[in-house]
Structure 1
Amino acid sequence: MRYESFAERRATPGLPSRALAHVQAWAVLGEAATLPTQHPDFGQAAVQALLPSTPQILVEGSPAAGFEAIVPLVRDGGRLARWRLLGDREVHEPGGPLVRDAKAAMRLAQALCALARPVEFARVPLDSPIVAALREVAPAHGKLIVREADPCPFLALDESWGTPENRFSSRRRSDFRRAQRKADRLGEVGYAMHRPSPVEFNQLFDEAIAVEAKSWKRAAGTAILCDPAKERFFRSYLRACAERGETRIAAMRIDGKMVAVQLAVAWRGRYWLYKIGFDEAVGKCSPGTLLMLHALGEAAREGLSRFEMMGESDSWISDFWTREAHPCVRLRFYPRSLAGYVGLAQDTLGWAQTRLDRRFRPDAA
């Protein structure tokens, strides 16, 4: 099968016109998706909200022979800018090319290696077919560097998680009860796992992101409300998921006021957690912990098989909830071209500087 690299274009609001013509093909290939970030709704929302004026290409199977792989790539301006996976930098969720099978991944790898610019995938699951394909194909065309990326923590669920507190030690169960008593002293506590319809979505989403902004995330600048483009993205994407009944908004309320929230989707039998937040004014009762416990129970009772925490494997996850995680890698391919040589030199200098900083920083010991 011959692959096409669609010509570079300056995007207008919405998906590029050529890409719009292939949304249906993307949806057909969706049966091979292993991550919700590979769904066309994720890509469409990302382009519309985050990258409306970014040069884009879409590499996919030849229309004459049928579509078997799609990878939306974007880049910054400039002759030496590299291609990267749509959404990698903006939302830092795990992602990767959508391929039908291992043979399609090999042909896609050939197409990627034929591009004149470097190509980067920031956070690809290690078991993605594109990892093995690029490792085999890339050496004949340039330099491939594979490095560890942030893993994706998860919890495997079964019926026993329907009462999640029983999965933990007596000491931890005591901690949960203590936190619940503190919450009860603040008012009437309630939990809900909302499955909003498109009509209900906006009101719940507004309430959720307002709660998230009341935590440390506002000061860090990572709250959704701190970034209008990111707010547009999550609103558009999760509303599209709501149209299919997949959006989940878990909420903890005290006297009717939301104090903790999770934004997630239920997709392919799993609970995929995108965002968490809580109101620091009630932080002493550990609202995030109490809501996580409730969400685990709801996901298990719904019959979902895994609770996927798509963010980084921070200590609050590994020390408190799970140490299981899907390994991920960062892929960087540098073709034998001016842009490839410059990109490799820049990254090599950057890695060397990082190693020096770690070696000589005051707290290195």
Structure 2
Amino acid sequence: MVITDMEIRDYRPGTRAAVWEIQEFRGRAGLERLEGDWRRIWAGLPLRTSFMSFEACAAHVDHIMGDPDQLRCLALGDGREVRGICLLEPRMDMRLGMPVPTWGVLWLKHSHQADVLCTDDEARRRFLPALAAHVRREPEGRPLLVMGPLPSGSPFWEGLRSLGPPCLDPKESVRFMDCGSPYGDLLAGLSGNFRHNLNTARKRLAGLADVHFVIAREPRELEREFSTFLEVEASSWKGAAGTAVKFRRRQPAFFAALAGTLRGETDRFEIHALYAEGRCLASILGTRTGAVFSALKTAYDPAFARVSSGQVLLARVIELCCADPGIQRLDLVSDAPWLRGWRTEQVTLQLAYVGTGGWRGRLLTALLKLRFGPVRRLARWLRERKALSRIPL
């Protein structure tokens, strides 16, 4: 199914008028229709993060989405070629304590970000107004459009100026590392206490038998190491909490599909693991997409917590990235406290709710503003007062 939105003309003195329009394609077949444009735009990105790869999004549609036929593939064109692509999926938002049907940018749950695919800032500025107008004409009973979380400094958000008052929700940050400097220089810039703890962990690790690192890139190696990763992660607190990949009904198939399709020379899935005493102590699921290495998931064996196996393995991955002239950035894919000792770049994220369903959308947006404004501040104040009451005088 293909839907063409009304044209938006941009006249500039001395230039040919650009015609901006949204074309919509539905379902898995619609995603395949856009594969050629997707890969062309993807190849033009200076730093490609794995959650925006065609392989990752296709694996999400195939293995995570409940009904792939509801996928909306929206292509922003300028009258000559497709300049950007956005994938929308139907969701139920629970931020108001009740299920609210929404359209949201396809969000891979192993990533803290959800973005549109664009190579240039001009198209990013055009995308949100065109996208909101298109969805408002075809809301399909969903009164809200949820955008993000994506970097709060993105030109994409400039499009909010032309819309009705949205609700902005600051989200957690993500951390990146610049891998353009030698590993030794990076270490020298860390705190003395962090370096001391890392050296202590390495010395303890050296006291174990048969210490070695493994990098899996080939199909059989990946299959073996992925199975091991699932067991190691399930042995940690994630297993007890039921949040380990092994216990998520659709996630094992998603990662297996990503490992099976992202297998190029410059775009590939790989697993790094640390072994000792005949068993796996820690494992990292990662992707290399052009000049970016992304550490998607980290697992560690709690029985070897004294050697900080996850931190030692991450240090090894960082060292390899710094030594590889083709890698410029390490995407840590989270802002977990144990990552903060490394010299990282912090990128803040935000999420926006835009009304798309008439008065219902406007009402829900107003309620969300209240929820994320005064109500959130009151809840924070009550938590602080409760914590202070527990402190003995």
TM-fit CA distance, 1:233: 1.5
Which amino acid is 2:42 matched to?
Answer: G
Question: Does residue 1:236 correspond to 2:257, yes or no?
Answer: yes
TM-fit CA distance, 1:147: 3.5
> In structure 1, which of residues 185, 189, 200 is the aligned counterpart of residue 221 of structure 2?
200
TM-fit CA distance, 1:237: 1.7
Which amino acid is 1:87 matched to?
Answer: W
> Aligned to 1:87, what secondary structure does the other structure show?
coil
> In structure 2, which of residues 202, 217, 223 is the aligned counterpart of residue 180 of structure 1?
202
Change (3 A) 1:120 1:203: same
Does the Cα contact within 8 Å between 1:3 and 1:108 map onto a contact in 2? no
Aligned residues: 351
Question: Does residue 1:67 correspond to 2:82, yes or no?
Answer: yes
TM-fit CA distance, 1:36: 2.2
TM-fit CA distance, 1:124: 0.4
Match for residue 307 of structure 1?
Answer: 330
> In structure 1, which of residues 101, 107, 113 is the aligned counterpart of residue 132 of structure 2?
113
Q: Which deviations, in whole Å up to 9, do the C-alpha atoms of 1:295-351 show, x marking residues without a partner?
A: 11111112222222111x232222x22353122221222246144124314423533
TM-fit CA distance, 1:77: 7.2
Q: Which deviations, in whole Å up to 9, do the C-alpha atoms of 1:252-311 show, x marking residues without a partner?
A: 100342110111112231221111110001111111111111111111112222222111
TM-fit CA distance, 1:106: 3.5
1:76-115 aligned within 5 A: 76=91, 81-87=101-107, 90-114=109-133, 115=135
CA distance in 2, matches of 1:323, 1:107: 31
CA distance in 2, matches of 1:336, 1:77: 15
CA distance in 1, matches of 2:314, 2:154: 29
Change (3 A) 1:77 1:295: closer
Question: Does residue 1:36 correspond to 2:57, yes or no?
Answer: no
Change (3 A) 1:20 1:270: closer
CA distance in 2, matches of 1:94, 1:237: 18
> Aligned to 2:73, what secondary structure does the other structure show?
strand
Match for residue 24 of structure 1?
Answer: 36
CA distance in 2, matches of 1:91, 1:344: 27
CA distance in 2, matches of 1:137, 1:38: 26
Match for residue 4 of structure 1?
Answer: 22
Does the Cα contact within 8 Å between 2:75 and 2:82 map onto a contact in 1? yes
Does the Cα contact within 8 Å between 1:124 and 1:328 map onto a contact in 2? yes
User: Where does structure 2 lack aligned partners over 5 or more consecutive residues?
Assistant: 1-18, 94-98, 137-142, 389-393
Q: Which deviations, in whole Å up to 9, do the C-alpha atoms of 1:88-107 show, x marking residues without a partner?
A: 5x334323111242332243
Which amino acid is 2:161 matched to?
Answer: E
1:111-190 aligned within 5 A: 111-114=130-133, 115-116=135-136, 117-132=143-158, 134-138=159-163, 142-161=164-183, 165-190=187-212
More deviation in 235-244 or 281-290? 235-244
> Aligned to 1:332, what secondary structure does the other structure show?
strand
User: Where does structure 1 lack aligned partners over 5 or more consecutive residues?
Assistant: none
> Aligned to 2:166, what secondary structure does the other structure show?
strand
Does the Cα contact within 8 Å between 1:74 and 1:84 map onto a contact in 2? yes
> In structure 2, which of residues 283, 300, 303 is the aligned counterpart of residue 278 of structure 1?
300
Change (3 A) 1:235 1:53: same
Match for residue 293 of structure 1?
Answer: 315
Which amino acid is 1:19 matched to?
Answer: L
Which amino acid is 2:112 matched to?
Answer: E
Q: Which deviations, in whole Å up to 9, do the C-alpha atoms of 1:37-63 show, x marking residues without a partner?
A: 222111101111110415221111359
Match for residue 265 of structure 1?
Answer: 287
Change (3 A) 1:213 1:323: same
Does the Cα contact within 8 Å between 2:107 and 2:113 map onto a contact in 1? no
> In structure 1, which of residues 180, 199, 212 is the aligned counterpart of residue 233 of structure 2?
212
Does the Cα contact within 8 Å between 1:106 and 1:137 map onto a contact in 2? no
Change (3 A) 1:148 1:190: same
TM-fit CA distance, 1:161: 0.6
More deviation in 330-339 or 116-125? 330-339
> Aligned to 1:82, what secondary structure does the other structure show?
strand
More deviation in 118-127 or 330-339? 330-339
Does the Cα contact within 8 Å between 2:91 and 2:104 map onto a contact in 1? no
CA distance in 2, matches of 1:338, 1:56: 25
CA distance in 2, matches of 1:22, 1:40: 10
CA distance in 2, matches of 1:221, 1:301: 37
> Aligned to 1:331, what secondary structure does the other structure show?
strand
TM-fit CA distance, 1:135: 2.4
